[in-house]
Structure 1
């Protein structure tokens, strides 16, 4: 089902992006790995045996995004799937987090998603075919202490995705969102350098291979939303029904940062 599909993956030099690229390659797809670091991309390329390509690109740069997507479409004739995976987080109290960090995080996590989506949309609309997969987060649905900057970016990704999904009805384009909880990846090297949060939520932390396999499965089925892990999905639904009550009841349990 994914054989020969051209799949562009941002933030693909490590973690979920790289693992998804490896799995897609084994399925016969053609992953295009995109990230800022050429060195890390070269190292990632050595871990993929099937047909693939690497592209250095900064999702915060309009010119680089435009040029990269134009090159891919010119070289392959199409982009079947876009996986917007690039992003990072930092956990800190709002009063201590510099405004510049809020801006930077929004530029990467949210505007990076917007830029890449807008770069591929005209092409997909012309073909009346395509699949856009946006990696959001459980944080986009449930806010917790010390994550105001990161949570805001993922709320924005979800809002953008949900509205755009309505625009794309009956166009042949599918838009999916993935909302994972904590995953055992290098994400926490920046988000939680002390390791305290990771230690507190180890019981909930998912293996990256599990998440990557679920993303590949979503690409096959066209499912529009995926919440992970399943035991957290129920909590998200409850929170959306009773947000203020949930805040009061779960404050201490959720304050793990």
Structure 2
């Protein structure tokens, strides 16, 4: 897709992967709309996007778990920006804890953000895409949604839900010429792990397979407008997830041992 003057909306666009997707789309001439809770940070992202694209960019404060906030942002996008060409559902968070120690109030928050809020926001955008008979939706899931490991019970459950939702949505929207792509990254060097693993040990233990958010963002933007089913990175973890599907008993052994670095 030639992104010149195309409207690209990114949730969770204040930092990390979302921020880099905004910049990469702006470099290619897109009109970027960044949405997140931290208004000061999305304001900075907006300004940098405008510098990169040489055109208007937008920043709207969004609490994806709050339906009223979603409704308000959807209205602002429609009134101030126009029809959305590409939606990247990137907002989400995780916490790595044993399930027996997990506060289920936190589990509810995780589902509200990672799953239900994403669905609500997507439905509002998808309606306009179907009407226009064009559009592309990217849902950021995770390798954790393909191969669960210890201490990721709730997070993996939310990402399994994102995968199932995306797979069905892809089939529903295809006749309307609206594409759905699932992004399944392994660990990315972002502030996601400040909350997920405050000790910092997880990324350190993983070493060379930790992903660079700029490279992942470039891969995602390269696929905008192309009917792509999934983006899986790193390749070694994609291979492991395929192996897991074929040999689940061995996969359980590996997921609980070799691949368990939390």
Range class of TM-score, shorter chain: over 0.9
Select which of 72, 93, 101 maps to 2:106: 101
Superposition deviation, residue 249 in structure 1: 3.9
Q: Is the 8 A contact 2:33 2:46 kept in 1?
A: no
Q: After the TM superposition, which residues 1-257 of structure 1 pair with which residues of structure 2 at under 5 Å, given as runs?
A: 1-48=2-49, 49=51, 50=53, 51-257=56-262
Aligned to 2:8, the other structure's residue is in SS state: strand
User: Could you list the runs of 4 or more consecutive aligned residues of structure 1 that deviate by over 4 angstroms after TM superposition?
Assistant: none
Q: Is the 8 A contact 2:93 2:192 kept in 1?
A: yes
TM-score, scaled relative to structure 2? 0.95
Rounded Cα–Cα distance in structure 2 between residues aligned with 1:169 and 1:222: 9
Q: In the comparison of the two structures, how many residue pairs are matched?
A: 257
Aligned to 2:174, the other structure's residue is in SS state: coil
Superposition deviation, residue 220 in structure 1: 4.2
- Structure 1, unmatched stretches of 5+, are none
TM-score, scaled relative to structure 1? 0.96
Rounded Cα–Cα distance in structure 2 between residues aligned with 1:74 and 1:43: 22
Rounded Cα–Cα distance in structure 1 between residues aligned with 2:57 and 2:164: 32
Rounded Cα–Cα distance in structure 2 between residues aligned with 1:179 and 1:223: 13
Alpha carbons of structure 1 residues 252 and 7: separation in structure 2 relative to 1, 3 Å: same
Deviations 1:201-237 (A, max 9, x none): 1221011111111111121433121110122211111
Superposition deviation, residue 250 in structure 1: 4.3
Alpha carbons of structure 1 residues 178 and 194: separation in structure 2 relative to 1, 3 Å: same
- Structure 2, unmatched stretches of 5+, are none
Rounded Cα–Cα distance in structure 2 between residues aligned with 1:249 and 1:32: 41
Q: Is the 8 A contact 1:86 1:112 kept in 2?
A: no
